[in-house]
Structure 1
């Protein structure tokens, strides 16, 4: 094993402090959101389902495939697994690609039935298109053995995949900003213009912030990286 690979394999999990919180947040999110849809009961949906016959099947497809996508995404981002069990990493990557494509198509359908107008529709449609595009570009790169490009595209894809988790943070924050006191007042319905404005903002913030963070992560200068000496 080359020295670089040995160094990566020897890295303990606590040297990657973000992987455990990410796994916990993902597990909590799935445990609270997924049970509403596994029974295929539209009355348990967190969003209204009376938006045409295609909406609920697409929503369930998006959520069930998305749950697999998030789980595989956590495995893909785990450096220890990638270094010590490359075969598991490859198989979880294949699972991620298939589930991301299925979930992305489901999201592309549901995006056409917005509850907060065209702003939300455009934001969610762009998210679905970019998720599909980045995932396909990442898959093509690894098939062509362009592993550095593969890593970059899949980091971007995973950042978009976790936008649904980020939305659970941005939605209440933006509602509190747009309509102070709305979270504690059940009399303010979703149809209020201010609430819809917060929903539109959340639809955009949930993936744009993730994608910006991914770009920073990919192009940051890690500590300890050797500096290139300029010739005198």
Structure 2
């Protein structure tokens, strides 16, 4: 309970992840292409890859919540390791590879294309580095890489939030700024949301890691002083 109180965001994060998956996943379990939120009928392989991506990304999100829960990690270390393997091989790896393929033919414009083509490899690299560090028992490095991976895994949620924000902001400008061009407005919304969706969480993760490093350096400097005083 103490660990939960020290990490008050863990339980809300779990609820948000479950609610997001409960809303996003069901349309892709029907096998009906018409229910897909992204339509690419000219590419027959797009829909199967999209379904694959959504399912495995959902697995990554759920297992990721368990991975960042200190109480669960301390109480059930064996389950933590098993969930970690599922996160890597049954979540991020297939979801990241499929995301890269889907991004190559995105209908949402060049900005969204560039964002996804950068994020997908980063997601795979961060996760691989975290897994490799754990295998080498470099747990400090493991934690750092997995925090970065966690930020990208959960960034789909912030992506959707930014999507709502930019839609509300830009939709009234359709006839003025975009001269009635729906496609141009869609490109602008998608480009903004895809970049902000993962860049901001990753920057926050880096700030968090740097904050920890500063705190550790200060603690190391205080330790010799305290020893001398004794």
Q: Is the 8 A contact 2:28 2:36 kept in 1?
A: yes
- Relative to structure 1, the CA distance from residue 113 to residue 51 in structure 2 (aligned partners, 3 Å threshold; closer, same or farther) is farther
Counterpart of 1:27 in structure 2 is: 18
Q: Does residue 225 of structure 2 align to residue 228 of structure 1?
A: no
Runs of 4+ that moved beyond 6 A? 222-225
Q: Deviations over 1:136-171 (max 9, x none)?
A: 111111111111111111110111011111111011
Q: How many residues align?
A: 218
The counterpart of 1:85, out of the listed 76, 95, 102, is 76
Q: Deviations over 1:11-37 (max 9, x none)?
A: 242221110110111011000000010
TM-score (norm. length: structure 1): 0.86
Q: Does residue 88 of structure 2 align to residue 105 of structure 1?
A: no
The counterpart of 1:149, out of the listed 141, 146, 149, is 141
Give the deviation of 1:91 after TM superposition. Answer: 0.6
Q: Is the 8 A contact 1:170 1:205 kept in 2?
A: yes
Secondary structure at the residue paired with 1:220? helix
Give the deviation of 1:50 after TM superposition. Answer: 1.6
Q: Is the 8 A contact 2:64 2:150 kept in 1?
A: yes
For the residues of structure 2 that align with 1:14 and 1:132, how far apart are their CA atoms? Answer: 31
- Relative to structure 1, the CA distance from residue 204 to residue 51 in structure 2 (aligned partners, 3 Å threshold; closer, same or farther) is farther
Question: Whose helix fraction is larger, Structure 1's or Structure 2's?
Answer: 2
Which consecutive unaligned segments of at least 5 residues does structure 1 have?
Answer: 1-9, 183-187
TM-score (norm. length: structure 2): 0.87
The counterpart of 1:175, out of the listed 162, 167, 175, is 167
Give the deviation of 1:226 after TM superposition. Answer: 3.6
